[in-house]
């Protein structure tokens, strides 16, 4: 088995699976203030359907799985799904992206079920600003969840920050400084046009180079080899810090040439690119009783339409992508 190789000779071995479009926060850069229309429950993939899809995917070469949402921890019984995924032959890594609000409640169950890694979205350490960004009052819950996750041995714990010019960019150095005493990965992600018309504009996007310039005031940024998978982050260490700072430059310097992933939306669409509307409907075929061979063919079709790169920078400045809660973070 050579695995999944796309038209541009990229090896595809990683899938992000959204288990719900629902979220317990309303982050300003993720969705509009009025929220988004939720998918009815019957249209969401069941855990059994997800496991069947993954069983086929691993036969084709998928080795890594990330569970996303919405907020995945709002879906009932998620640890049982993690356990079922960990039992699939061929899965080498299971990770989870979460806003951390419910982490203190579920961290132990997730660890026991076989979850290996955590990505926690956190865009401010200031209580007032956190409330403004998330439209929620849960910062203390997030910190408690991080502390419990440390004690349980999740490593590395990755904390994702999206700097927005004039909003939370004054906290960039404070986030980077967390690596001095903790072995965490603090990752800075360029602001993207994902479903938040009230706040998105290109001038609010801070490039990775600007972020690096700000952080370099804390000390020299030394590039380090990525020992934690083949993700898009370029990693550095500030002096002798215990942790790592990472940079994800989706806008200013895209990493499409090394993209190794597919995305499965909560309503069963297989998307070969986050920034493309191209998708293959797996759920329809599943519920019409398709065979395993037919499901494999659908996966291969998705690989065949995976674009060479995204075209965000060529879209009008007012253009917005589908809400991340709909696609899967």
What is the model's pLDDT at position 260?
Answer: 93
pLDDT digits (tens, 9 = 90+) for 302-321: 999 999 987 665 555 544 45
Q: In this prediction, what percent of the chain has a pLDDT beyond 90?
A: 74
What is the model's pLDDT at position 322?
Answer: 55
pLDDT along the chain (329 residues), means of 10: 84 96 86 73 96 97 96 97 97 97 98 98 96 93 98 96 94 98 96 69 89 97 76 90 92 78 96 88 98 97 90 54 57
144, with CB counted inside 10 A (0-12, 13-18, 19+), is middle
Q: How far apart are CA 224 and CA 213, in angstroms?
A: 17
Domains of the chain by start residue, with CATH: 4-327 (3.20.20.70)
Q: How far apart are CA 110 and CA 148, in angstroms?
A: 12
**Residue from 65, 53, 1, 54 nearest 260 by CA:** 65
| Interior/surface letters 167-190, b for 16+ CB within 10 angstroms, e for the rest | bbbebbeebbbbbeebebbbbbbb
What is the model's pLDDT at position 226?
Answer: 72
Q: How far apart are CA 280 and CA 299, in angstroms?
A: 8
Query: Residues with Cβ < 8 Å from 198, sequence gap 6 or more?
Result: 28, 32, 33
What is the model's pLDDT at position 189?
Answer: 93
pTM: 0.91
Helix/strand/coil percentages in the chain, nearest 5? 35, 20, 45
Q: Where are the alpha helices (DSSP H) in 265-323?
A: 282-287, 292-304
What is the model's pLDDT at position 300?
Answer: 95
Determine contact, residues 329/38, Cβ cutoff 8 Å.
no
pLDDT digits (tens, 9 = 90+) for 185-214: 999 999 877 655 667 677 888 999 999 999
* Strand-pair partners of 245: 186, 236
């Amino acid at each position: 088995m050579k695995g999944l190789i796309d038209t541009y000779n990229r090896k595809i071995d990683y899938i992000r699976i959204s288990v719900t479009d629902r979220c317990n926060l309303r982050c300003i850069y993720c969705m509009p203030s009025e929220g988004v229309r939720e998918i009815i429950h019957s249209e969401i993939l069941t855990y059994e359907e997800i496991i069947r899809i993954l069983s086929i995917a691993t036969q084709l070469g998928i080795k890594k799985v990330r569970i996303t949402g919405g907020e995945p921890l709002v879906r009932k019984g998620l640890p049982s799904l993690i356990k079922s995924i960990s039992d699939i032959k061929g899965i080498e890594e299971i990770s989870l992206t979460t806003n951390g609000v419910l982490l203190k409640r579920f961290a132990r169950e997730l660890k026991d079920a076989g979850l290996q890694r955590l990505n926690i979205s956190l865009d401010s350490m200031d209580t007032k600003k956190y409330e403004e960004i998330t439209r929620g009052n849960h910062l203390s819950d997030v910190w408690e969840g991080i502390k419990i996750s440390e004690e349980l041995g999740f490593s590395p714990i990755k904390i994702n920050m999206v700097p927005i010019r004039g909003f939370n960019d004054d906290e960039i150095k404070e986030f980077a400084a967390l690596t001095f005493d903790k072995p965490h990965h603090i990752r800075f992600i360029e602001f993207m046009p994902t479903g938040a018309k009230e706040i998105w504009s290109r001038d609010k996007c801070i490039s990775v180079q600007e972020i690096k310039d700000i952080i370099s005031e804390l000390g020299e940024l030394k590039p380090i080899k990525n020992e934690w998978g083949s993700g898009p982050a370029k990693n550095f260490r500030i002096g002798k810090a215990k942790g790592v700072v990472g940079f994800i430059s989706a806008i200013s310097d895209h990493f499409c040439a090394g993209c190794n992933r597919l995305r499965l939306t909560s309503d069963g669409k297989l998307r070969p690119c986050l920034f493309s509307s191209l998708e293959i409907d797996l759920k329809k075929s599943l519920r019409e009783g398709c065979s395993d061979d037919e499901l494999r063919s659908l996966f291969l079709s998705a690989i065949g339409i995976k674009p060479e790169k995204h075209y965000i920078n060529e879209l009008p400045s007012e253009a917005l992508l589908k809400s991340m809660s709909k696609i899967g973070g």
